[in-house]
Chains A and B, each alone.
Chain A
Amino acid sequence: MKVVVDMTLCQDHGQCAIAAPEVFRMDEDSKLVFDAEPDGSLSDAVQDAIDVCPVQAIFLER
């Protein structure tokens, strides 16, 4: 599983970090950092993050 975030769309709301904290988190400056190749066992959480992103900036590359 490869996670891609369109950083031109990302607004750092942090909803992905709430939905899938194992993969996405907000750093000290409230900016997004994420694991681009998370374990396959986290696919449901990643899908929730993709769904919840207010600007729909998260994608899966297969």
Chain B
Amino acid sequence: MTQTPTAATPPLSWDDLAYLPVSDPSFSVQSDAVRQARAQGWCARTPYGLAVLRYDEVNKLIKDRRLRQGSWAWPAHNGVTGRFADWWAGWLLNMEGEDHARLRRLLNPAFSPRALAELSPTFVALANELVDGFAATGECEYVSQFAEPYAARVVAMLLGIPEEEWPAIAEVSATIGLAMGVTFAQELPRIEDALDRLFAYCDAIIADRTANPRDDFATTLVLAQRDGERLSPTELRDSMALLVFGGFDTTRNQLALAMKTFAEHPDQWALLAQRPDLGKAAVEEVMRVSPTVTWVTREALADFEFQGLTIEAGTTVHLFSESAGTDPLAFADPSFDITAEGRVPHFGFGGGAHHCLGHFVGRMDMSVALPILAQRMPDLRIGPGAEWMPLSGNTGAHRLPLLFTPQS
């Protein structure tokens, strides 16, 4: 990988780039405009900087240390200060350099695939229990009856919160999620109230595991130490709260997007039911063609040249994960196929230093859930009344009625 332009790289002017109105509520990352811009070149202009559309360039820039994670200044951009802004500043995602590395080293062990492997049977039982609630009827409202309780109860399991308290996890996460929208500043009192409740949950778990350590995820987190260092009480609480918020919403949305994708590919759904061993491949394929995180943002730390384009310090760079994942230059046949071999990895979990910390959890819980859903919900169709989020930023469904043939 060469990051300095060679003599053969012609200069590229911002004025010549296609324009994508990413902040328009009707904008879609799957629109013809994005496809045309990708055919024309590797990037496009947006109201907030650059959009990177092709696999190779996303792959390079997502790991490029001349860029930092892009949303760190979001509270400041909205004039928000105080405890929400302080929490945000302490997110692993919003830290860089040695501060980021130290925190990540301390958080990593709780998320290791070895530590998580034993949870798999619990996820199987949870998926089946939830499907039991509607399997005989041939229909469900999938977000409220499966995706939301599944995602929230996985978080509850990890942290050792009683699973019947899952609606509280869903509610505080949804309220805190208002911080990502245009009404952030107006909603701040509600958001901070939800954050206080989430902090109280986390503080109680931390106090309990400190006094009564057990063999579980929360204890591993609370007792983590490396090179004589420990997480401070604030770091622990902030990180635990981020884990709840970051782990719930993304999983719920990705599980809804999986059903949309499979409803459009009935042969693949039938195949997954027959071959549950394809669960892992199904998750990777869904996240390649329909990732909940439609773009990952970065911000240029200094002026630099990339493929002939001058990117100035402070420029926001949107790395389009779905566009990269379906780029014909990287995928000879980009169509959805859970049996495809030799695919290059998708960017649904980001990449580089900020690669998703919880991806082993997400990969495992979804790869367990999808084959169970395929076996127990044959002939899947989307029913009337589905409500989708815009196909931009972090996407998913608010409401997803599903129809299927009930099993006797």
Contact = CB atoms under 8 A, between A and B. Distances in A.
Given A51-B113, A54-B359, A30 B65 contact: yes
A54 B105 contact: no
A30 B63 contact: yes
Nearest to B357: A52
A48 B224 CA distance: 12
Contacts of B63: 12-14, 30
B351 A11 contact: yes
Residue among A12, A26, A52 with the highest chain B CB neighbour number at 10 A: A52
A46 interface: no
Chain B: interface residue count, which band? 20 to 34
A51 B111 CA distance: 9
B109 interface: yes
B1 interface: yes
A19 interface: yes
Contacts of B113: 51, 56
Nearest to A51: B112
A42 to B, nearest CB: 11
A29 interface: yes
B242 to A, nearest CB: 17
Contacts, number: 55
A52 B108 contact: yes
A31 interface: yes
Interface in B25-79: 59-60, 63-65
A5 interface: no
Given A18-B101, A18-B104, A13 B1 contact: no
A19 B359 contact: no
A21 B345 contact: no
B353 to A, nearest CB: 6
B64 A15 contact: no
Given A13-B351, A14-B352, A29 B3 contact: yes
A14 B64 contact: no
A55 interface: yes
Interface string B1-27: 111000000000000000000000000
Contacts of A18: 100-101, 104-105, 353
A31 B353 contact: no
Interface string A46-62: 00100110111000000
B83 interface: no
B123 interface: no
A30 B105 contact: no
Contacts of B114: 51
B292 to A, nearest CB: 17
Interface in A11-35: 11-15, 18-19, 21, 26, 29-31
A51 B359 CA distance: 12
Which 8 A-B pairs give the minimum distances between C-beta atoms? Answer: A51-B112, A18-B101, A52-B108, A13-B355, A54-B355, A30-B63, A18-B104, A29-B1
23 contacts: A11-B345, A12-B1, A12-B63, A13-B63, A13-B353, A13-B355, A14-B63, A14-B352, A18-B100, A18-B101, A18-B104, A18-B105, A29-B1, A29-B2, A30-B60, A48-B112, A51-B108, A51-B109, A51-B114, A54-B349, A54-B359, A55-B345, A56-B113
Given A13-B353, A54-B349, 12 more contacts: A13-B352, A14-B63, A14-B353, A19-B105, A19-B108, A21-B101, A26-B65, A29-B3, A48-B109, A51-B108, A51-B109, A54-B351
